[in-house]
A and B are shown apart, each in its own frame.
Chain A
């Protein structure tokens, strides 16, 4: 009797072991699939780095890297080729800088309003509007720059052509405003209530609390928002392609037309430049410059955000 019971129990244990083993075998492919999904992001990054730097390497076999980084003429599609990236680089950063001149004050002040002043009803109606603004495709902003900002806002400044860096900057600033506003607002709301209450207790009014307690407290988060906005501005393509023009032009005058790095990549890929030529390699070299610039900005922003979270969370 007891022997039979032992056999029965052992049988049950064995059966459970078998079931468990079978389940493990059946579940293994699912785990593998899930892991592969997560691993795909690494493959993507490696892929981007490989294709950018392989072609860039070919490019620098023919073009001196110093000439590339310091040259002031960019004419790879002409008979007399010249590969100085400065006009494109200058245009990209000038336009991005202009965009930040629009987006930083408006975005940060809007964030202060939403975080410190706005009644719930206003907040809950302004935020969706900003979300919609953030979701508008960039080609639409390009159209807006070309057909509203250039003719209506910039004409008084004596602008000759329809294309200008300033027009692209303003449109881009409007595009980035929601990003800066919502990230800054998040940062300000993360500042603990007790700090605000302490300041009120000392007799500060709302303005003083907002500008001397909340703003400095959220500063690293706000700076991270601004840097992410700048990175977006540097990598933005359609606004500059449609509104800033397609002639490389090394100039500090924002009312002139100039070609940004991304606009050049679009120009080449719209034409029929055969692959394997030096002209074709240029878009990868420019892509590599773009990738490195935005990556550095993003890493800096992530680092700031991590620091900010450490303080309050």
Chain B
């Protein structure tokens, strides 16, 4: 270590100088840590001040309109819920499957290493690039059109790396002796994973999965690319039908759709200031959805951490 700072101020002892320097630095660091909190508060306050006046049941229950005071977010809210449901349907099984393979079965060789590096890099690819991928592959080549299903598949690819990482952490938290005991009793590796490793790992995975899905809810750019509409006066069709088997998930899946962040973006980019208020109200709805998902994740994490037995 270099010699400690010598006091540049006459009449101040070196020790006092060092102590005061340390204190000043602490204040600086504390202010920096506080800046994040302040930024969040200012952001929330700005949006609340702008948007609370427009919030009402009518707002939740109306379609967008040329008139800002009549505009609502029903179509976007339904679109977001449907898109999240289908995204979870694709991304969760595939993500957990990939995690199980990488964590439990993959041989330690270069193929596995390539896959792992690749997943890390995919997590850093800008979301708009996934939009270009979805536009080309799902909308055009697979001819799914600008539908809920095309949007969900695009979002699934986007959140897959996050889900894989979360699921792997969940699996890794299960101690190896659980597996060894199960194998010693004659179970196959697959039986071991299915009935011994997965059950205790699921809660930890859930937290990460919920956070990944909340990321999908907030994403705007990829869905603009695949052409989610911004002016829709209907919600996706209900999957329930009158004839056997009474449920037809392709009905909502094939529908044109819009989602909350795209609706907000559309309102923000209009010149009339009244639409900005409408946008702020939409943001409040979006943040409420996101924060309740985050809260759910935190509650689940705390609940299951307390119950862990090893």
Contact = CB atoms under 8 A, between A and B. Distances in A.
Contact of B101 (A37, A52, A231, A235): A37
A97 to B, nearest CB: 17
B268 interface: yes
A307 interface: no
Contacts of A112: 29
A137 B94 contact: no
A117 B224 contact: no
B114 A42 contact: yes
Interface string B126-142: 11111111011100100
Interface string A133-163: 1011111111110111000000000000000
A294 B128 contact: no
A144 B129 contact: no
A129 B18 CA distance: 32
A219 interface: no
B118 A105 contact: no
B190 A265 contact: no
Contacts, number: 259
B240 interface: no
Interface in B29-49: 29-33, 35-37, 39-40, 42-43, 46-47
A207 B21 contact: yes
Contacts of B161: 41
Contacts of A178: 36
A106 B115 contact: no
Given A137-B286, A208-B4, A238 B18 contact: no
B42 A148 contact: yes
A34 B101 contact: yes
Contacts of B218: 135-140
B264 A35 contact: no
A23 B214 CA distance: 39
B232 interface: no
B115 A38 contact: yes
Interface in A238-261: 238, 241-242
B6 interface: no
A69 B132 CA distance: 21
Contacts of A204: 1, 4
Interface string B208-234: 000100110111110011010000000
A47 B130 CA distance: 10
B97 A37 contact: yes
B169 interface: no
B291 interface: yes
B120 interface: yes
B190 A205 contact: no
B33 A139 contact: no
Interface in B87-133: 93-98, 100-102, 105-106, 114-115, 117-122, 124-133
A251 to B, nearest CB: 22
B122 A44 contact: yes
B47 A265 contact: no
Given A148-B46, A262-B221, A210 B280 contact: no
B121 A265 contact: no
Interface in B6-60: 18-19, 21-22, 25-26, 28-33, 35-37, 39-40, 42-43, 46-47, 50
Nearest to B105: A34
A33 B190 CA distance: 12
Provide the main secondary structure of the chain B interface: helix
Contact of B264 (A38, A143, A181, A202): A143
A99 interface: no
Nearest to B97: A37
Contact of B136 (A45, A51, A128, A203): A51
A74 to B, nearest CB: 17
Contacts of B221: 138, 237-238, 262, 266
A288 B278 CA distance: 36
A299 interface: yes
A206 B20 CA distance: 11
Interface in A279-313: 283-284, 287, 290-291, 294-295, 297-299, 301-302
Given A35-B101, A47-B137, A144-B47, A41 B122 contact: yes
A174 to B, nearest CB: 5
Contacts of A36: 97
A266 B220 CA distance: 10
Contacts of B18: 205, 207-208
B115 A139 contact: no
Query: Which of B39, B128, B221, B264 is the most central at the interface, judged by chain A CB atoms within 10 Å of its CB?
Result: B128
Given A113-B32, A129-B36, 14 more contacts: A23-B188, A37-B96, A38-B115, A41-B98, A48-B132, A110-B36, A113-B30, A117-B26, A126-B33, A137-B219, A139-B261, A144-B46, A236-B126, A238-B221
30 contacts: A33-B97, A37-B94, A38-B106, A42-B115, A48-B133, A110-B32, A113-B32, A133-B40, A136-B40, A136-B43, A137-B218, A139-B264, A142-B265, A143-B264, A143-B268, A147-B46, A178-B36, A207-B22, A235-B125, A235-B127, A242-B269, A262-B221, A266-B221, A269-B135, A275-B140, A290-B129, A294-B124, A294-B125, A298-B124, A302-B117
